[in-house]
Chains A and B, each alone.
Chain A
Amino acid sequence: MADRSLTYVRTEMAEALPPPKSTTGISAWMRENLFSSPANSLLTIVGLALIIWLAIPIWNFLVADAVFSDPEGLRGEACRFEGVGACWIFIQARFSFFIYGFYPPEEIWRINLMFLIGVILMIPLLAPRAPFTRTAAVLFFLVFPFVAFFLMAGGILSLESVPTNRWGGLTLTLIISLIGIIVSMPVGILLALGRQSRLPVIKGFCIAFIELWRAVPLITVLFMASVMFPLFTPQGMQPDVLLRAIIGICLFESAYMAEVVRGGLQAIPRGQSEASFALGLSKPKTVALITLPQALKHVIPGIVNTFIALFKDTSLVSIIGIFELLNTVRAASSDIAWQFPTDAVTGYIFAGFVFWLFCFGMSRYSIYMENRLHTGHRR
């Protein structure tokens, strides 16, 4: 409107055009994101230098100076020299110990069978729109725990009995965290709902429970479970130390989960439950069909965050003498036969990598779930 006239009527409609060329392509991307200004260019160069400066020693340790094989069989001597990097034959030699702990080697097929059943049942639960979801859910949550327990513990059907102090390694880490996840989720939801209850007794109990468990460090909970608990129970009546630790973790994580879920419930506008009531739905149905599904969807990142923290926290049970993954790694690297300069570092790198792998997997899965459940912008 160059003529500064106040009236204007469009006579031709503007066509939709493709975007200008310069904003696409690799060189354009680099120009725009890495070298858009002198300061940005400088930062890019400094960043690049930093990466190279860090990458070289890491590369040397993990690959160049590392020991990948031992022609004379897997022996500690092969890594016993000055300037050795990571000793991968150590991981190779003790791999089975890291995965299965002290479980009798000839019974390891039972663990593998358990994992196989677990994975097969989890596929329809985790994959979208897979068939048999309902059947798989029933089997996984109601039947699988018993099957897994009897496979692990034995003592029936001519399976040799394996006491829990021989369970260990990654197997035990996964068992503890899976039980923690499966128990803390529903208990946490119940606590969160109870905390919003109008009945003072229920509300008070839930608040007290949550605040008590949240205020105590997990290490303290585990020490209480292993040391204090036996003091109050009669001799011979004490439940297994692993069971006590798992119960402690479940209660602890339930309190955290409750607060995550409560955050989600609070984000749901009151109009949602009012609309549901106005349609004639009862309070329990309103919670189950309207508020809770929305609340859980909102807090998927928080839920998965709690799961990831739980998974890593399982390593704390090592302080009460339970041989989960980290403790088997520690035990293996202090083995006399495997004394070499980098024994601890190699072991911890391996353990760290395994933890990272599982946590990263959970994190990616949660992002995928969020996108799948996204149903358009809220108004």
Chain B
Amino acid sequence: MIINHPLLGPRDSAEFTYLGDASLIERPDWQAEDAADQFHDYLYLRDNPAGEHRELWFHEQGDRSWLVVTRNTLTHEITKVELARDVARSLGRSR
């Protein structure tokens, strides 16, 4: 697979390590009443869809940036690559 890095252009996916579902960016509020339940779902439960999947890849053997890759889990086709930093900021996170 080739991942089209927003800064570096097309890179071999073997340069990256894989973390999982990009929803991991949206960490629950640790002060919420039901924080324990929210963290359980956040840490352990996954949608695991067959089809389009937004996921976190780390450019370990490159510029060490985190990417959010939108990839089809049935065909392995990659349709979108964003810097995780930009995604997190657009969700209201400071970094």
| Bound together | no
